[in-house]
Amino acid sequence: MTSLRLDGEEKRQSFFQGCVERMLLYWRDHQALASIDIVVLDRERQRILKNIALGLELQPLWPLVKPLVIAFAPYMERRGHWDAWHSVLEQAIRMAQRAGDIESETTLTAFLARVCQRMSRYDEVVRYYRRVIRLAKVTGNRFEEARACSNLGYYYIDGGRWWRSEVLSCHALVIFEELESDHGRAHTHNHLGVLYTRERQFHLADNHLRIACEIWIRIHDQHSLLRGYLNRSLLYIDMEKPREAQRILTESLLLAENTGDNAEIGTIQNNIGLAFISTSQYPEALEHLRIAEKIFLTSQNSRMRARVYQNIGLVHL
pLDDT in tens, 129-139: 999 999 999 99
CA distance 58 to 23: 13
What is the model's pLDDT at position 36?
Answer: 81
Contacts of 84 (CB under 8 A, 6+ apart): 49, 76
Q: What CATH code would you report for 44-140?
A: 1.25.40.10
- The single-letter DSSP state of residue 170 is H
Q: What is the pLDDT of residue 1?
A: 46
Domains 44-140 and 144-220 in one fold: yes
Q: How confident is the model at residue 284 (pLDDT cuts 50, 70, 90)?
A: very high
17-26, 71-80, 105-114, 205-214: the lowest-pLDDT one = 17-26
Percentage of the chain exceeding pLDDT 70: 95
Cα gap 317→305, rounded to integer Å: 19
Closest by CA position to 226, among listed 273, 196, 261: 261
* In the chain, where the domains are located: 44-140, 144-220, 242-317
If one compares 212 and 78, the residue with the highest pLDDT of the two is 212
Q: How many Cα atoms within 13 Å fall on the side-chain side of residue 214?
A: 8
Round the average pLDDT of the chain to a whole number and report it.
91
196, 169 in Cβ contact below 8 A?
Answer: no
CA distance 213 to 232: 9
| Cα gap 250→257, rounded to integer Å | 11
Fold of 242-317: 1.25.40
Q: 24 vs 236, which has greater pLDDT? A: 236
Non-local CB neighbours of 166 within 8 Å, separated by 6+ positions? 153, 192, 195
Q: Region 41-67: what's the mean pLDDT?
A: 92
DSSP 8-state code for residue 261: -
Exposure b/e, 293-310, CB count within 10 A at least 16 = b: bebbeebbbeebbebbee
Residue with the larger pLDDT of the pair 15 and 118: 118
Ranking 78-82, 173-177, 256-260 by mean pLDDT, the lowest is: 256-260
How large is the average pLDDT for residues 2-8? 54
CA 100: distance to chain centroid? 26
Given a cut of 70, whether residue 2 has pLDDT beyond it is no
Q: Tell me which of 96 and 18 has the higher pLDDT.
A: 96
Could you tell me which of 237, 193, 241, 243 has the C-alpha nearest to residue 213?
A: 193
pLDDT exceeds cutoff 80 at 262: no
Tell me the per-residue pLDDT of 153-192, one tens digit each, with 9 for 90 and over: 999 998 899 999 999 999 999 999 999 999 999 999 999 9
50 alpha carbon, distance to own chain's centre: 22
**Which of the four pLDDT bands, split at 50, 70 and 90, describes residue 303?**
confident
How many angstroms separate the Cα of 2 from the Cα of each of 19, 21, 22, 209?
18, 23, 22, 65
Of 57-61, 169-173, 210-214, the one with minimum mean pLDDT is 57-61
pLDDT at 78: 85
**What φ, ψ does residue 200 adopt, rounded to 5°?**
60, 30
What 3-state DSSP class applies to 280? coil
Element (H, E) at 239: none
Is pLDDT above 50 for 79?
yes
- Residue 6: per-residue pLDDT: 52
Question: With 70 as the cut, is the pLDDT of residue 11 above it?
Answer: no
Residue whose C-alpha is closest to residue 175's, from 199, 207, 144: 144
Contact 193, 235 (CB under 8 A): yes
CA 259 from centre of chain = 13
- Among 248, 267, 264, 292, smallest CA distance to 312 is for 292
| Residue 215: predicted pLDDT | 98
Global confidence as pTM: 0.81
Say if domain 144-220 classifies as CATH 1.25.40: yes
Asked whether residue 314 carries a pLDDT value surpassing 60, the answer given is yes
Across residues 74-98, what is the average pLDDT? 93
